[in-house]
């Protein structure tokens, strides 16, 4: 245990960081309020959204009456996960059911982490416009296997063309969150894990009635 390498899978929260390019995702503001040279202590004021940086989506994000981030059981957020290697999937490409099944272990755990190494696009608009995505059949299959937490190092599991204003609006979000499962988005540093089994830790801010929340995430190999 002393040689265990714990990997931080979380982007920093910082002024000017990448945020989803729509009006309802606020830009991050960090202002120094208390100063060591004047007030004798340092404090900061933070302005950020519930879906800023590495974060969790609770069912309420898309589902009317769905559970909120403070209502999700802690046991869901800590435990074994399957780390699925999808690095060979081209940009703007769909991960279909057959491909996903071929990469999954025989016994699918309740937590699944998808590795695309897409965090390398962080800071560029292609991060949002060109990422790979799941098919509806693949997402439904994960739910049918009992997956309750789906995480990824892309900004979302949906086709980036299927957003608000489109005839097809975020169907993968609706499949996952509509089945009372949770999404974890914007992971980074998955390349530092070997998999295929990891211990995954997700610690979202406990926002009362929150549709989601920024989270600190960690992982370490179990093999």
Residue-wise pLDDT tens for the chain (223 aa)? 557 899 999 999 999 898 988 888 899 999 999 999 999 999 999 999 999 999 999 999 999 999 999 999 999 999 999 999 999 999 999 999 999 999 999 999 999 999 999 999 999 999 999 999 999 999 999 999 999 999 999 999 999 997 766 678 999 999 999 999 999 999 999 999 998 999 999 999 999 999 999 999 999 999 7
Q: Is residue 40 part of a domain?
A: no
What pLDDT score does 223 carry? 76
Residue 100's domain is classified under what CATH number?
A: 3.50.30.50
Inside any domain, residue 170: yes
Residues 6+ apart with CB under 8 A from 61: 51, 173, 177, 183, 211, 212
Whole-number pLDDT of residue 24: 86
The whole-number pLDDT of residue 2 equals 55
Residues 6 or more apart whose CB falls under 8 angstroms from that of 120 comprise none
User: What is the number of domains present in the chain?
Assistant: 1
Task: Identify whether 8 is part of a domain.
Answer: no
Q: Which domain holds residue 210?
A: 50-221
pTM of the shown model: 0.95
167 part of a folded domain: yes
Do the domain assignments include residue 35?
A: no
- Res 164: pLDDT: 60
Q: Is residue 112 part of a domain?
A: yes
Q: Alpha helices, DSSP H only, in 2-96?
A: none
Please check whether residue 133 lies inside any domain of the structure: yes
Eight-state DSSP code of residue 192: G
Give the whole-angstrom CA distance, residue 135 versus residue 99: 10
199 in Cβ contact with 79 (< 8 Å): yes
Confirm whether 101 is domain-assigned.
yes
Q: What is the pLDDT of residue 90?
A: 97
């Amino acid at each position: 245990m002393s040689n265990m390498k714990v990997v931080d899978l979380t982007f920093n929260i910082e002024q000017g960081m990448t945020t989803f390019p729509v009006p309802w995702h606020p830009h991050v503001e960090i202002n120094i309020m208390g100063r060591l040279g004047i007030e004798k202590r340092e404090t900061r004021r933070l302005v950020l959204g519930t879906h800023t940086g590495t974060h969790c989506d609770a069912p309420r994000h898309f589902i009317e009456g769905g559970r909120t981030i403070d209502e999700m059981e802690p046991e869901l957020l800590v435990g074994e996960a399957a780390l699925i290697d999808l690095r060979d999937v081209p940009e703007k490409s769909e991960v279909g059911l057959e491909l996903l099944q071929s990469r999954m272990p025989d016994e699918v755990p309740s937590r699944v982490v998808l590795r695309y190494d897409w965090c390398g696009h962080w800071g560029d608009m292609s991060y949002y416009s060109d990422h790979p995505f799941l098919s509806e059949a693949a997402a439904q299959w994960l739910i049918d296997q009992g997956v309750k937490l789906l995480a990824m190092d892309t900004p979302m599991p949906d086709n980036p063309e299927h957003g608000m204003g489109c005839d097809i609006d975020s169907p993968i979000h609706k499949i996952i969150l509509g089945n009372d499962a949770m999404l974890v988005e914007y992971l980074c540093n998955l390349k530092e894990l070997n998999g295929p089994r990891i211990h995954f830790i997700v610690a979202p801010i406990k926002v009362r009635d929150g549709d989601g929340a920024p989270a600190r995430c960690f992982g370490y190999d179990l093999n």
